[in-house]
Structure 1
Amino acid sequence: MSKKGAQKNTKNKAKHSKLMARKVNKQKAEKALRKERLKEIVKRAKEEGAQ
């Protein structure tokens, strides 16, 4: 027999999903930024090594 009234725990689940998505997006952005910085460092090192 189903319960009557408001659904249980849906607001909390939605909030958790939103926060987890935000966390994953932040991690992806930081990873991309790190990769770009590393590429720049490698590029500079190659230029200095060539001279």
Structure 2
Amino acid sequence: MAKKGTPKNGKNKAKHSKLLKRKKDKLRSEKEARALKLKEIIKAAQSKE
């Protein structure tokens, strides 16, 4: 039979998944920002030629 009451590691798992989600979102946004900067640099270099 399953135990009744609160899950053993419910809070820790929720906190850990929240932190991992935050970390992945940060990495994704940094990657997108880097791509935009590179596009701007390439456009500037092409317009100078």
TM-score, scaled to structure 2: 0.87
Q: How many residue pairs align between the two structures?
A: 49
Residue identity in the other structure for 1:31: K
Aligned partner of 1:28 in structure 2 is 28
Aligned partner of 2:48 in structure 1 is 48
Q: Note the residue ranges of structure 1 that are not aligned, 5 or more in a row.
A: none
**Which runs of 4 or more aligned residues in structure 1 lie more than 3 Å from their structure 2 counterparts after TM superposition?**
1-6
TM-score, scaled to structure 1: 0.84
Q: For the aligned residues, what is the CA RMSD?
A: 1.2
